[in-house]
Structure 1
Amino acid sequence: MKLVTAAEMRQLEAAAIAAGSSEVQLMEEAGLAVAQESWMLLGTLEGRRILVLAGPGNNGGDGLVAARHLYDWGADVAVYFPKGHRETARLDELRAREIPLLMGEDDPEGQQLAAQLAAADLVIDALLGIGQRLPLDPADPIARALAALASTRSSYQPPKIVAVDVPTGLDCDTGAVDPLLVRPDITVTFGLPKVGMYQLPGSDAVGRVQVIDIGIPKDAVDAVPLELITSRWVRQHLPARPADANKGTFGRVLVVGGSRRYRGAVALAAAGAYRAGAGLVTIATLEELAHDLAGAIPEATWLPQPPGPDGSLPGETAITLRSEWAAARAAVIGPGLSLTDDTRAFTWAALPDTADCAGGVVVDADALNALAAMDDASARLHPRAILTPHPGEMARLLRTTVPEVQRDRLGAARAAADRFGCIVVLKGAHTVVAAPGGRAALCPFANPLLATAGSGDVLAGIIAGYLAQGADPFTAARLGVYLHAAVAEALEPEYGRAGLIAGEIAARLPRIVRDLTQS
């Protein structure tokens, strides 16, 4: 499913009009869909009171079309205009039906609005559409209407709310939310869902999103560079598992990392790769860690390495491993390394050698921090590299701040993908996967169960597991990101929103894949 910004949506609407639709037709399709969703939300319209809050633009026009249909289908409908309306033809249609039209300028104290809201079974928010800018002016009549709606929403029997295209108070490009926004039960959005609906805090402010086809040409939709990762897409792109396969069929993953301080990270990454379906995982780590961890993951093979002076892999290890990259189809470098002088020297020396790993390499954790300090970083990366930073690591890669990264996560991921010339996975709520040139994908999930130590190591291993099975880097990253988060979604009814540990993510992964393929 593609996601669009406000500007892209306007371009798609223009493409629909150029293909033979009209603005009137698009509005009719949109308003009809809002009316139908309102009917389904209420279950019946007979004796139900519906209030449409109509703004002065096209969003308000969609609300007027919905009002007309709902009245014709038997509902008791009224329309409230906080700021007047320019759609005189549609107003005439409503007047002909004797639908009450209430004007905000005739209700300076808001008494009529309060009375209508108190009596309503359902309110349609058709105040502002994709062109709105935040923050809203608290003195604006639209803001006062939202405040009145919020007050009613907290009553004993609050009305249900349907938002037209986007809730009023949502920046549909960034997901920023105005304090006056009133969360709807359903957002009926037109053409394609908007980016801000899948970025926090916006994703928590839209209710259930219902996407309505209004006749946008398919070729125009196909050209949109941003998509939402869906379960359907995942089912279609999971690697084949032929019955006559052997472990070589599913590839070898080389995991390189570990230090005395971070001992378990390589084992978690290895578990992620195995649970994603890799045939064999080899771990290159410190001798003492190999000895300690062998029992924890007996399925792995080991390349024990002597430690450097600061207890991490020294630069000389890069020479030792030179022949190992080509023996693996995919690799992970970074889990548990720790950021020391040894780590910096090792990462600088090893990264160019990873190009011998045919399927690609996942660069994670302190390998990313070492990379961020390199002036020739992009030149040292595997052409099929996947970087998996959390916001702090991303800030170091882009030489900016965490608040700047979080303010525009999609933009940050795209900027890093272009700067380093590879796939970038910006972890966090609604993880972003970006490719050079602007193509990107968002994870639909934002779950605090994943905010636990080692979760990122498991994700790196999962992605490498799909690389080992032949997936291209962009596909492997999207598969890993979705399935890693889907584990938390599946376990939330059992765990709540805390208490999941990283090893359980890996252990649960095969059942998530099974459930997806059987659904």
Structure 2
Amino acid sequence: MKVLTTAQMHQLEENSVKSGVTMEMLMENAGQAVADEAGRILEDIRQQQILILIGPGNNGGDGLVAARHLHDAGAKVFLYLFGQRPGRDPTLKPIRERRIKRIEAEKDDNLDELTKLLASVDTVIDALFGTGTTRPFSGLLLMVLDRVRRVKIKRPDVKTIALDIPSGLNADTGEADPGCLYVDNTITLAFPKPGLFKFPGAERVGEISVVDIGLPGFVEEKAGPEYLADEWAKSVLPERSPQANKGSFGKVLVLAGSINYIGAPYLACNGAMRVGAGLVTLAAIGRLQAILANKLTEVTYLPLPESRPWLIASEAIKMLFRQFEQYNVLLMGCGMGQNEAVVRLIRSILLSHPKAKTAKPKLPSLVLDADGLNALAGVPKWWDLMPEDAILTPHPGEMARLTGMTADEVQLDRMELTRKMAGEWHKTIVLKGAHTVIAAPDGRSQISHVANAGLASAGTGDVLAGAIAGLLAQGLNLFDAAAAGVYIHGMAGEAVKARLGDTGMIASDLLPELPVIIKQLKASRHSEEAE
């Protein structure tokens, strides 16, 4: 499913009308879909008191249709109308016939009626303005939204839902009017919009649902990034034959850890194992191996020599090159540190010198994280000196170092920057953070729906790097392994959040959830295949 701009959505709607689907039909489909999804979110809408804020345009029309369907499903619906609806608005007649209570904002002195409703309703649906409105809010409209905002603070149990986008959010840029609500859920129509994933607006949208409204399915391949969804993730999961052996599921060599980051190899190795890699080997100095051996009982070890306590000796490079041919994937960088010896080691493994007399042995497919990336920063045109068969997994700070930008500049347009650099560097890139972006050199890209504050803790990136490496070892291509790893990791985070909340989640909480998410995806896939 593509992420489409406002202009692309308007073009699709025009194409739909030309093909015989009227705007009235699309509005009916949208309202029905929103009502159905609201029912799923609220679980039981019978006798629920639902206030819908209705604007003067198409977003308000969708809200009126949704109001009818919610009323018919047993909810007690109230409408708060802002601005004049068109004189012959066909969506108003069914509202009158059902005697659904309507209040006009312009006639509500001191917003008294709104205040009374907000004191008792269970849910507020924002259907004021959609993708076509970008003007600043002021006056009565700002007062209405502020009243809703204050009630949400006093009564956090009141559910707030945005229809398509929260009013005041720019659907393309993510810019948000000061009056834009922070909602619990956004039910977006037909396709996700870029602004839902761009900050500051992204922090206002809550959980995103995408509903079908009957628009034609054809979208140009280069229209924009894909929305990373379970249907896609199910389709790329590797099969596992009952007759397989551990070699069938790939071998991962992990080069990670240092005196300051002893836990990083544990998390990365377990991430790879928990998504199904057949064999994981940790290449580490003996001191690190001795500490981890009691916890990492399933991995094998490649002991590396030390030059000084806790420093890998340069002789390790030859040892590693002799081992590489035995592995499908090399995961490198998690918690390795940035001392000069480590940087030299990483660069010696990754980078080829243009004037070298002999070629280096071929490396396995690469997953580079953390200090593996930091070691590249500052090397002129490093991307031309290393293999293209690589996945880079930077967070915004690491991406800033690789590009020479600031972290704030990286965050301005994460989607576009990731796609651009994947093409220039000829590497698959995973730009981590809220709504992680994945991009391939050929222009393909995906964006995750997950924005989970619980994942903003030390070590979760090590788990992700391991999961990506484990999937890559099982035969997925670079882009699919990266995107599937992001999806499974994100859903594992959502599962932990549902159980513990988003405070106090730690990276190791994710590990037992990874195979559970894969099991759920496979069960859903097999169920669909059986139908």
TMscore range, shorter length: 0.7 to 0.9
Three-state SS of the structure 2 residue aligned to 1:322 is: helix
1:5 aligns with 2:5: yes
CA–CA separation in structure 1 for the residues paired with 2:504 and 2:100 = 54
Three-state SS of the structure 2 residue aligned to 1:424 is: strand
> Where does residue 475 of structure 1 map in the other structure?
480
CA–CA separation in structure 2 for the residues paired with 1:241 and 1:37 = 35
User: For 1:258-407, what aligned pairs fall within 5 Å after superposition?
Assistant: 258-308=257-307, 311-313=310-312, 317-352=316-351, 356-358=362-364, 360-407=365-412
Q: Residue 248 of structure 1 aligns to which amino acid in structure 2? A: G
Q: Per-residue CA shift, 1:28-75, capped at 9, x if unaligned? A: 432444456668867358xx9876533343323333555677789999
| Superposed displacement of residue 427, structure 1 | 1.9
Q: Per-residue CA shift, 1:463-500, capped at 9, x if unaligned? A: 11111110101111122222223333333354443444
Three-state SS of the structure 1 residue aligned to 2:325 is: coil
Match of 1:486 among 491, 494, 497: 491
Q: Is the 8 A contact 1:310 1:342 kept in 2?
A: no
Q: Per-residue CA shift, 1:147-178, capped at 9, x if unaligned? A: 23334556779976553221213333455544
Q: Residue 487 of structure 2 aligns to which amino acid in structure 1? A: Y
Instruction: State how many pairs are aligned.
Output: 513
Q: Is the 8 A contact 2:33 2:213 kept in 1?
A: no
CA–CA separation in structure 1 for the residues paired with 2:274 and 2:158 = 47
User: For 1:129-278, what aligned pairs fall within 5 Å after superposition?
Assistant: 129-133=130-134, 136-137=136-137, 139-153=138-152, 162-173=161-172, 175=174, 177-184=176-183, 187-198=186-197, 202=201, 205-206=204-205, 209-220=208-219, 224-278=223-277
Three-state SS of the structure 1 residue aligned to 2:301 is: strand
> Where does residue 57 of structure 1 map in the other structure?
57
CA–CA separation in structure 1 for the residues paired with 2:158 and 2:456 = 35
| Superposed displacement of residue 311, structure 1 | 4.8
CA–CA separation in structure 2 for the residues paired with 1:88 and 1:294 = 75
Three-state SS of the structure 2 residue aligned to 1:182 is: coil
Q: Is the 8 A contact 1:31 1:63 kept in 2?
A: yes
CA–CA separation in structure 2 for the residues paired with 1:511 and 1:74 = 36
CA–CA separation in structure 2 for the residues paired with 1:446 and 1:323 = 41
Three-state SS of the structure 2 residue aligned to 1:332 is: strand
Q: Is the 8 A contact 1:449 1:499 kept in 2?
A: yes
CA–CA separation in structure 1 for the residues paired with 2:112 and 2:60 = 21
| Superposed displacement of residue 422, structure 1 | 1.3
| Superposed displacement of residue 124, structure 1 | 4.3
| Superposed displacement of residue 356, structure 1 | 2.1
1:125 aligns with 2:126: yes
| Superposed displacement of residue 351, structure 1 | 0.9
Q: Is the 8 A contact 1:308 1:342 kept in 2?
A: no
Question: Where in structure 2 are there 5+ consecutive unaligned residues?
Answer: 353-359, 525-531
Q: Per-residue CA shift, 1:293-325, capped at 9, x if unaligned? A: 444434433333333569544555434433332
Q: Which moved more, 1:497-506 or 1:234-243?
A: 497-506
Q: Residue 321 of structure 1 aligns to which amino acid in structure 2? A: L
1:26 aligns with 2:26: yes
Q: Is the 8 A contact 1:57 1:128 kept in 2?
A: yes
Residue identity over aligned pairs, in percent, reads 41
Q: Per-residue CA shift, 1:215-234, capped at 9, x if unaligned? A: 22222276654233333433
> Where does residue 467 of structure 2 map in the other structure?
462
With structure 2 as the length reference, what TM-score do the two structures score? 0.82
Three-state SS of the structure 1 residue aligned to 2:511 is: helix
| Superposed displacement of residue 447, structure 1 | 3.1
| Superposed displacement of residue 90, structure 1 | 0.9
> Where does residue 514 of structure 2 map in the other structure?
509
Q: Is the 8 A contact 1:171 1:177 kept in 2?
A: yes
| Superposed displacement of residue 376, structure 1 | 1.8
1:43 aligns with 2:25: no
Q: Is the 8 A contact 1:394 1:426 kept in 2?
A: yes
With structure 1 as the length reference, what TM-score do the two structures score? 0.83
Three-state SS of the structure 2 residue aligned to 1:304 is: strand
Three-state SS of the structure 1 residue aligned to 2:384 is: helix
Q: Which moved more, 1:403-412 or 1:192-201?
A: 192-201
Three-state SS of the structure 2 residue aligned to 1:163 is: strand
1:17 aligns with 2:22: no
Change (3 A) 1:355 1:84: farther
Q: Residue 145 of structure 1 aligns to which amino acid in structure 2? A: V
Change (3 A) 1:397 1:355: farther
| Superposed displacement of residue 350, structure 1 | 1.0
Change (3 A) 1:302 1:109: closer
CA–CA separation in structure 1 for the residues paired with 2:262 and 2:185 = 47
Three-state SS of the structure 2 residue aligned to 1:457 is: helix
CA–CA separation in structure 2 for the residues paired with 1:289 and 1:422 = 31
CA–CA separation in structure 2 for the residues paired with 1:50 and 1:184 = 15
Three-state SS of the structure 2 residue aligned to 1:372 is: coil
CA–CA separation in structure 2 for the residues paired with 1:111 and 1:56 = 21
CA–CA separation in structure 2 for the residues paired with 1:69 and 1:224 = 33
Match of 2:434 among 422, 429, 433: 429
